[in-house]
Structure 1
């Protein structure tokens, strides 16, 4: 089953959501990232689990929500292809970038949680990069994040496939073609 669970990742503002929306329109199951939902929820309740208030709590909330979503998807589907907007390792990467200690149980959960070994990563793309109320990173931080995410997935044994900068339809076709080839 985990062979059908694909991660689409990359730094902020590289087109992940646009690609996932297109895959969703094509009938694939897509799972939105937890980070934006958590930020919106924490802002709504004036909570501390925000990257600009309490990075450690924010990371804990992200990891917990992502792990719960993973298990819900894995336990309810049989052979459906699923695309996740980020995976558990994105949170581990965030923790490392922010010098937050990664708990032993987090590392254990990462090793027990299997996705397809091929991870699709979108490179920084200045022409489409925008900040907003939840995405506050500047361009340099976005590029740095991409490099760290890529290295994190490689360090954990995943094969990282860089999706070319192109029209959304071509990016989606690239992803589907790579899946069909494997």
Structure 2
């Protein structure tokens, strides 16, 4: 049971339209890189697997995201709806970032999400692989924050 929740529409069961809306809302939140704000989209006892790291609850989510964005500089993310059913959504994503040495990467992955009745994500399972790229190979060019509506999607970029 979710406690201390603030409903986050759209709510399950999802349609193609509402699932795509949920995906874009998640992308926007992560691109703003505010760990405390992002954590509010998850249940207080949300369960995560991100690569080989397991987190439970908002406090651990905030700690994870704080560490992540302290080392992944110039972070830009695109998410795309892959599938949905009832209260579950699957997405594919890619994000670009550089490390403290200035080495660039594009990280590719898939996420499986499960939502409670209030539209909060109760489970998030992410599998991610990193590809070293050059600065010239970058494809995600927009100012920090929300990806512009006219920026190509993963499919349009051939990713």
Question: What is the TM-score of this pair, normalised by structure 1?
Answer: 0.23
Between the two structures, name the one with larger relative contact order (CA 8 Å, sep ≥ 6).
Answer: 1
Question: What is the TM-score of this pair, normalised by structure 2?
Answer: 0.25
- Structure in which a larger fraction of residues adopt helix: 1
- Structure in which a larger fraction of residues adopt strand: 2
